[in-house]
Chains A and B, each alone.
Chain A
Amino acid sequence: DAGITQSPRHKVTETGTPVTLRCHQTENHRYMYWYRQDPGHGLRLIHYSYGVKDTDKGEVSDGYSVSRSKTEDFLLTLESATSSQTSVYFCAIGRRGDTQYFGPGTRLTVL
């Protein structure tokens, strides 16, 4: 296993509430990624980080923000959750352009 965990694993929340998902790695990888996975859309990149305090947007970044204050932690925040953000969220770590190792996922339901 690549030493990557996500918390929480499941969360149910209400529309309009803030939500933070955490990704923690013990592999000291420089690159960390947040994806969402929905039926019919595959894996879509939300944001990624290429170092502490260095982040960039992916293809579906609207409504999401991220922070990386330490190499091992990458946080994904939904400032005001909407039903369209109901999804399974995966964190991944890796080296630039190389294999990515995925966490177990967080299933988020926004009511």
Chain B
Amino acid sequence: TQLLEQSPQFLSIQEGENLTVYCNSSSVFSSLQWYRQEPGEGPVLLVTVVTGGEVKKLKRLTFQFGDARKDSSLHITAAQPGDTGLYLCAGPETSGSRLTFGEGTQLTVNP
């Protein structure tokens, strides 16, 4: 079974601060996806990283895929209250039919 562990589980910061959340596994993934879920809604895809060492930027969000494709990180610069939500990483299982999800990082950005 391919497991994804996310840390920290909870993060509460002030507006303007920077933060990094992590997604780690002992297994190699062909790709990793990051989703954000806002209260009362379903998760929405932010980005997919495919190549080891790949870095993708989405405005103030920077995503990195580890060289060995076993881990990924999400860095947010100058966090805003609108960044508040549950951040989930996910990767395709070996069978390819399903995704494995991490348990998520609950981020709260206080004004």
Contacts and interface: CB of A to CB of B under 8 A. Distances in A.
B103 A50 contact: no
A40 B103 contact: yes
Residues of A in contact with B, size category: 20 to 34
Interface stretch (B11-19, B37-45, B61-69): B37-45
B107 interface: no
Contacts of A60: none
Contact of A105 (B42, B48, B98, B103): B42
A102 B44 contact: yes
Interface in A34-56: 40-43, 45, 48, 50, 56
A15 B104 CA distance: 30
B88 interface: yes
Interface string A94-107: 00111111111100
A99 B33 contact: yes
Contact of B45 (A43, A45, A99, A104): A99
B99 interface: yes
Interface residues of B, number: 21
Contact of B43 (A40, A97, A102): A102
A31 interface: yes
A104 B41 CA distance: 5
B98 A58 contact: yes
Contacts of B33: 99
Nearest to A98: B92
A96 B42 contact: no
Contacts of B22: none
Interface in A83-111: 90, 92, 96-105
17 contacts: A40-B103, A41-B103, A43-B43, A45-B98, A50-B97, A90-B43, A97-B96, A97-B97, A97-B99, A99-B48, A100-B90, A101-B45, A102-B42, A102-B43, A104-B40, A105-B40, A105-B41
